[in-house]
Structure 1
């Protein structure tokens, strides 16, 4: 129990730290940052439930006003802006990433974690992000998809990196990866 709480807190902190890496804002108002990599790693390493809990803890800290999002943003306003769909999608993305990594046992963890990150951390997250942009900015579905297209290559790279990191952690410290 104590170890699980520590891991959840550690990965919530990882998402915060990844927000410190320089990010830049595109015309759509959505920043390119490394925080989605942290969300993917939460699911891939901690599994579906604990990964989603780590993301929820991070989002709670953001809601309380801590400036943990890319660009030093925080507070309840972040949950109604152009990136709100992504924030709401993060726990679901971590859950799906962890579920795929945990369920797909016939292949290496590197491959199953990367596949989970692609499905959860890219596919699911983009569905939430596009829906948020449609609701907040008033874009049509084709417009929202077009606005997000610039992010796809970077997020695919992040999914591969999440798989490689998860596999490396598992080889170095198998007990640290809760999806196996």
Structure 2
């Protein structure tokens, strides 16, 4: 792996960690995943760093959180967080970033709307496809109830999609060789 790739991987793992410093909106006592800014880091990793680098950045982040570093929103870390309701969403992060990067890598000249669609597919659809069944199983909620709960998260995730699209497009314009 070249130096540039290592820098991108470290940068987007660090960015995702930094986004965890924003206080999460937690649903105390309900065992539901908190609303955090960290999924914006996932979206940006895929959109800016690409499939391979973005996926590895989030894999590094997840590995560091698993060994106990308090990188997740609210200062959480350790292997136990992966066995809670949000564990499936966390485990989806590398796949989500890689999928976003893969889609955008196939369509380098994507319009704003197309780029936002790709980011939404990876950053919402892929993440929810893995996270919701996990949440239903771990939380003993049933799939229908878990899906109904996640409807409340969609507006915030759509805001993150728009932000990620604006930032990624701006970076791509400013640095065409990204």
For residue 106 of structure 1, report the CA deviation from its aligned partner. 4.9
- Pair 1:121-2:123 in alignment: yes
Partner of 1:74: 77
* Residue of 154, 157, 160 corresponding to 2:156: 154
- Alpha-carbon distance in structure 2 between the residues aligned to 1:111 and 1:165: 14
For residue 107 of structure 1, report the CA deviation from its aligned partner. 2.9
Q: Is the 8 A contact 1:83 1:129 kept in 2?
A: yes
Q: Is the 8 A contact 1:64 1:75 kept in 2?
A: yes
Q: Secondary structure at the match of 2:73?
A: coil
Q: Is the 8 A contact 1:101 1:115 kept in 2?
A: no
List gaps (5 residues or longer) in structure 1: none
- Alpha-carbon distance in structure 1 between the residues aligned to 2:169 and 2:101: 13
For residue 28 of structure 1, report the CA deviation from its aligned partner. 4.5
Deviations 1:80-130 (A, max 9, x none): 01100101111111111111111124533x444322210000011011110
Q: Secondary structure at the match of 1:174?
A: coil
- Alpha-carbon distance in structure 2 between the residues aligned to 1:123 and 1:67: 27
Partner of 2:134: 132
Q: Is the 8 A contact 2:104 2:110 kept in 1?
A: no
TM-score (norm 2): 0.94
Partner of 1:36: 39
Q: Secondary structure at the match of 1:20?
A: coil
The RMSD of aligned alpha carbons is 1.2
How many equivalent pairs are there?
Answer: 175
TM-score (norm 1): 0.93
Q: Is the 8 A contact 1:48 1:96 kept in 2?
A: yes
